Structure formats: C-alpha cells, structure tokens
Amino acid sequence: MRRLLAPPHRSSDPILWHGLIALVFLALVLIRIKIPSAPYFDEVHYLPAARRFLDLSNVLNLEHPPLGKELIALSIWLFGDSPFGWRALAALFGTLALFATMRAMWLTGRAGTASVLTGLFVATNFVLFIQSRIAMLDVFMVSFVMLATWMVVGAWRQNETARWRLLIGGAALGAAMACKWNAVPLAVLPGLTFLAVRVHAAGWQALTATRFPPIRGMALWEAAVWLGVWPLVVYWLAFQPYGAFADPGPTGEGIVALHRHMLDLQQQVLKPHPYQSLWWQWIANSRAIWYLYEVIDGAQRGVMLIGNPVTMIAGVPALGWCLWAGLKEGRRDCLGVALLYLISMALWMIAPKPVQFYFHYFLPSIFLAAALALAVEQLWQRGARIVAAGITLGALVAFAFWYPVLSGAELASNQSFLLWAWFEGWR
C-alpha cells in the first residue's frame, strides 16, 4: 500500500500496472459469466434484437441506435448463441473501458499513482463490473467514450501523434453515439474544446493558424473534420446494416424519419417501474436494482446493481475538491474530471426520458471514481495517509464483500439478500 500510494514519479509510465489491473478485472468478470444460463434483466430485449442482425428478418428495439446490438450480434457470431457468447464481447469492452480510463488519467496529469488508483476505484465501483457481465448496450457506449477520451487527451499532450489518435478518437466518438445517445453531450466536447482553446490562443488568426494550442500543426478546419465530420460518418455507417433487412420497418423511411421515430420512443410515457430512480438518488447511492434474484442453475442467486458504498459516497466530496482545485489552483486534471462528471450528469437532470434507472449513472460514475483517485493521491501527499489508505482498502474490501451478488454466486437461502440490502432502497 505504501508503494502504491507513494508520490507519483511523473516520468515513469505505469502501463504495466494498468495492464495488470485490467487483466485481473477481466479474470474476475469471466468467473461465472455463463450464469445465469438464461437471459436476464435487459438481455430479454437486446438479445432478440441482436439476433435479427444475424438472420436479417425484421427490426427490433428501435429505441436505441444499432451499434450496441450489432456488437452483441458479433459476440454471438464469434462465440456462439450461448450465455458465454452473449456476454463475451461485453467483458472485453468493459476491460477496454477500464484500461482506456487509466491511460487517459496518466496522460492528463502524468501522475502514475492517480492513474493506478483510478483503475482500482473504477474496477471495484460495482457498475463497470456488472455491466461487463451482461449483454446490454451501456458497456459498449462507455468503452467507446473512454477510448475517445484516451485518444483525445493523448493528441493534446503529444501533438506529433495527433492525427492517428484523432482518427481513432473521432471514430470512437461516433461509435459511442451509435450505441446510446447518452454519449452525445460528451461526444461534442472535444471539438468545442479545441475551438475554444484555439480562439483563446490565436484570436483572429484562429481560422487559419496552425502554430497554436491545443494541437500545434493542425488547422481548425482539420480538427473539425476529425472531431465533427468523422464521428458523424461513423455514426451514420452504424445504421447501414438496416438496409439488408427483409422487413426494415421504420428504418426504411430514411435516416431523418428514423431518428424522429427513435426520439418518440425515447420520450414515450411508460408505466412506472419498481426499480426506477432519479439522478439525485444515484448520487446518494440510495436505489439499487436487482438484475436477478431467483433460483436458477441449481441454486438461489442474485445480481445486485448498486455503487460501491465507499467509492460512491467518498467520491462526492472528492468531486467538490476537484472542482475547487481546478478553478482555484489551476489543476487541469481535476477540472477536467469534474466537468466530465457534471456534463454527463446534466443530461439526466434535464432529459425528457420519463423512466430512468441507476445504470444510467454508469458513465458519470467513471469520472466520480477518477475524482476520488485524485483526492486520495492528494490526501496521501499531504500526510493524511491513514485516510487515504482507509478509503482505498475500504473500496477493495467492499468489492470483495459484495462479490457474491455481483457475480451470481450461489447463496444460502432466499433471504440471503438481506446481508447486502442494508436499506429499503436497496431491496
């Protein structure tokens, strides 16, 4: 622990630590990934929709863009129409999301300790782990967002690599939007940031000059291509398989009409759901979802979606500190993490979607964990080492304690949920 939380050596890239954390995470995700052996929670919607991309019969589940369902279909095609095949690609993309998050944190501030702590807090925040073990769309969206973040931050930091990074990053932005629209507020951010920084630095020369930040050697128009046009091209390409369906349904009416139909589906008034929640309940970590709780595969089993209590609660004041440090002390890494959290949360504060769930907190929870990592590193450096170590070990212990109901392990009885469901909102 002392070595892990030591002040960062900013010249030493901790990529081996990042890789090790990602591999351990993947190994834990794969344990019992075939359980339950039947579709559960939203798999009952997405698996039939994914299979349609294999048999090209009729279109299902038009509420969301198609790429996430296409990736589930690819997983089935690669690994078989079985529980492992349904979820295998989700596990790999979840691991990519974790690795990309650590790499982005390293490139942001060159702080090895903060990037490693980010990996630990994200890997054990419960949300990434559970979403990496189920055939839902969210893990693909989050993975592409974090891949884009890694690439864009790298382009900012290492200008000589900017073009190939923005080629990948721009594609990832488009792919994220093509999985779920949740990504849209963050997908437009790199382009707007480039514009703001260039105008601030270059003034009236912003349109033509290339010698100014954030990427020296790149004109504004070229950045607009990589961060504006290219993501939209990738987004549009994700819809093209609909043209091969025998019964294309509303997808045959053109891309604009299809998006009107999708928006109508997003805004339709649904019946209240027992597990629905609001954004402030996500911050308070007060409303869980039991993805599964039944006798299946020969035993009583459960899968409980809630945030790691240590990470989610300690992360809130950490986020406030990050915002303060960013504004008052010029900590760009802290300010960036805080703004990404707030922007990803703002969508759900104003969204007209009538029924929302805790898994919509997936993307903000990544940035919350990163904020906690920055705060814990700061606590350690300022001498509050017992607090810093306590938070870190507490998050790891909480993950170990909840692991049985994160991984679908065999439980003792139908009342075993009480061991983890401490509050009414967790039941």
% of the chain exceeding 70 in pLDDT: 96
- Is it the case that residue 102 has pLDDT exceeding 50? yes
Lowest mean pLDDT among 78-82, 282-286, 329-333: 329-333
Strand partners, 311: none
- Tell me whether residue 44 is exposed, middle or buried, using C-beta atoms within 10 angstroms of its C-beta: 0 to 12, 13 to 18, 19 or more: exposed
| pLDDT tens column, 163-173 | 999 999 999 99
Structure confidence by residue, pLDDT tens digits, 210-262: 999 999 999 999 999 999 999 999 999 999 999 999 999 998 899 999 999 99
- What is the residue whose two structure tokens read 């779920």? 180
User: For residues 427 and 421, what is the distance between their CA atoms, to the nearest angstrom?
Assistant: 6
Alpha helix positions (H), 158-254: 162-179, 184-187, 189-202, 220-224, 230-238
Provide the 10 A C-beta neighbour count for residue 9.
Answer: 12
| Mean pLDDT computed over 293-308 | 97
Name which of 96, 91, 81, 88 is nearest 50 in CA terms: 81
pLDDT band for position 352 (cuts 50, 70, 90) = low
pLDDT given at position 271: 74
Under a CB-based contact definition with an 8 Å cutoff, are residues 375 and 322 in contact?
Answer: yes
Residue with tokens 């039939």: 48
Question: What is the pLDDT averaged over residues 260-276?
Answer: 83
Tell whether the model's pLDDT for residue 87 goes beyond 90.
Answer: yes
The per-residue pLDDT for range 5-16, each reduced to its tens digit, is 343 445 589 999
At which residue do the structure tokens 């990948």 appear?
168
Position of tokens 């109508």? 264
Helices 362-381, 112-123: inter-axial angle, 10-degree rounding: 140
Name which of 35-49, 131-145, 340-354, 373-387 the model is least confident about: 340-354
> Across residues 91-118, what is the average pLDDT?
96
Q: What is the mean pLDDT of the chain?
A: 94
How confident is the model over 175-221, as pLDDT tens digits? 999 999 999 999 999 999 999 999 999 888 888 889 999 999 999 99
Q: How far apart are CA 90 and CA 75, in angstroms?
A: 8
Q: What percent of the chain has pLDDT over 90?
A: 87
Rounded mean pLDDT, 284-296 = 97
331-342 average pLDDT score = 96
Average pLDDT over residues 335-350: 94
Residue from 140, 130, 135, 131 nearest 407 by CA: 130
- Where residue 110 falls among pLDDT bands split at 50, 70, 90? confident
